[in-house]
Homo-oligomer: A and B are copies of this chain.
Amino acid sequence: MSKETQKVKKQDKDISLNDMDSLEFSEWYGEILETAKIYDLRYPIKGCGVYLPYGFKIRRYSFEILRDLLDSTNHDETLFPMLIPETLLAKEGEHIKGFEDEVFWVTHGGKNELDVRLALRPTSETAIYHMMKQWLKVHTDLPFKLYQTVNTFRYETKHTRPLIRLREIMTFNEAHTAHSTKEECEAQVKEGMYVYSSFFESLAIPVLISKRPEWDKFPGAEYTTAYDTIYPDGKTMQIGTVHNLGQHFAKTFDLEFETAEGEKDYVYQSCYGISDRVIASIIAIHGDKNGLVIPPKVAPIQIAMVPLLFKGKEEIVLEKSNELYDKLKKFARIELDTRDIRPGRKFNDWELKGVPLRIELGPRDLENDKVMIFRRDTNEKFDVAIADLTAEYLVDLMETVTSDMAKKAYDAFLGHIEILNIEGIDNESLVETIKEALNNRKVVLIPFDEKLYNEEFEEQIGASILGECEFEGTKYISIAKTY
């Protein structure tokens, strides 16, 4: 039995997803989206679906955290057009090459054929940098630190997956910055990474940070740093990327300015983005066989109150429940469940929906001025005196839940990482060892070796080189099967 299920009081069986292979996980994931009413994929266009109210709220609270982080680091929120003229998109050669097979094209307005085809933005560099040109004259105009949260589009020909590989990426939070010096731009890349690390931390999602190899960096970037998390089936999911663009786009878009010394220079740029995949990852990383487990900060309902309405005691239980509800709703997103169905079904519902805390109010407990609390993340049950249910208590408890969820997720994450000692091993055996580890649902780290850091080796192992990866103070090549 794995470490994280030893605490379980209610159930003996392991309900974690860690024993699942890709097919089983995929089935679990598809089913939970439907039963927990997160996202409906029955829309009549491949790779396009609907955020249902419950899923939308998780999205809303999650991206509000990101917005707060970006605002508090002086990023300015903006909104740029969704359509990009072909002439503009094609301006940056490498960039368009990276996207041209995936762009949706608008060719007609009403019955008229358009003079210039319009792309549905696959990403917004070209739109934003064209406008930056209008705003830039001298160094005092800088820095620009902008972001937006928008829908973007990719004509995916591969198998699509809800919230993971979409044709309409409904949520793309992209930041774009411009600076007068290379050093300032480097510092900005670090700030972007700080923002993302903080964001994933508040969602209790563990990440592996890899500098992507040259052949897998963002089209048009100097270098790309990526955040990957590990799904229960051992495959990695890229959930955030930070790019140092150098002066590459600046030269294409003529982002020239007058320096403090009166000379001409091009700006140095960075950009970074996070998508719906973070929502998919909240589901995949924390969920178990009973359903979702949502971190309290982004839970649409943080506490579900279930009155146990035994015959003859209904009135007093309901009265006390309403009283407590009125008190607690000021501190938390709370729902009082008075549906006319048996408690067991209510318990299952709220567990399926991943509500972090459940308060059960039975007549016996209430007589003793107590209630029972159930923690979704650990399946623990314990009683608490009603007088102790203060704002502080609940805030503390939810913080404990978050940090315990982070620990549990990190344990599972570590369980998926295999560090290989490659000293003295020949190439053939190395390839076999790596393949075997990958098949055992591991992400493999091998000590960094220039000779192995190439596409040929990647092809041999039949998986992805995530990149150069610092892990516990050592530099590795990170290798994984990826989504």
Residue A51 interfacial (CB < 8 Å): yes
Which A residues between 233 and 289 are near B, CB-CB below 8 angstroms? none
Q: Which of A11-19, A76-84, A401-409, A431-439 contacts B (4 or more CB under 8 A)?
A: A76-84
Cβ distance A324 to chain B, nearest Cβ, rounded Å: 22
Q: In the complex, A51→B54 CA distance in Å? A: 29
Determine if A52 and B78 form an interchain contact, defined as CB atoms under 8 angstroms apart.
yes
A123, chain B: closest CB distance, angstroms: 15
User: CB of A56 within 8 A of chain B?
Assistant: yes
Task: Tell whether, in the assembled complex, residue A101 and residue B111 are in contact, meaning their CB atoms are under 8 Å apart.
Answer: yes
**A contact set with B: CB distance below 8 Å:** 40, 42-45, 48-53, 56-57, 59-60, 76-83, 85, 87-88, 100-112, 117-118, 120, 127, 130-131, 134, 146, 150-151, 155, 157, 167-168, 170
- A40-B131, A110-B100, A134-B42 known; A78+B105 contact, CB < 8 A: no
User: Closest CB of chain B to A152's CB: distance in Å?
Assistant: 10
Q: Do A40 and B110 contact each other (CB < 8 Å), given the known contacts A60-B77, A78-B50? A: no
Inside 8 A of A107's CB, which chain B residues have their CB?
Answer: 105-108
Q: Which residues does chain B contribute within 8 Å of A108, judged by CB atoms?
A: 104-105, 107, 117
Shortest Cβ gap from A339 to chain B (Å): 12
A44 B106 Cβ-Cβ under 8 A: no
**Closest B-chain residue to A168, C-beta based?**
B81
Known: A101-B111, A106-B105, A106-B106. A50 touches B77 (CB 8 A): no
Whether B88 contacts A130 by the Cβ 8 Å rule is no
Q: Which of B78, B100, B130 contacts A44 (CB 8 A)?
A: B130
Q: Which residues of B contact A45 (CB under 8 A)?
A: 81, 83, 85, 118
Contact partner of A110 (CB less than 8 A), chosen from B42, B102, B117, is B102
Closest B residue by C-beta to A57: B77
CA distance A108 to B118 in the complex (A): 11
A191 to B: closest C-beta gap in Å: 18
Contact B103 A44 (CB under 8 A): no
| Known contacts A110-B157, A130-B44: A56-B77 contact under CB 8 Å | yes
How far, in angstroms, from A221 to B135 measured CA to CA in the complex? 45
Among B40, B51, B78, B118, point to the contact of A134 (Cβ < 8 A): B40
Q: Give min CB distance, A483 to chain B, whole Å.
A: 21
Closest residue to A79 on the B side, CB-wise?
A: B51
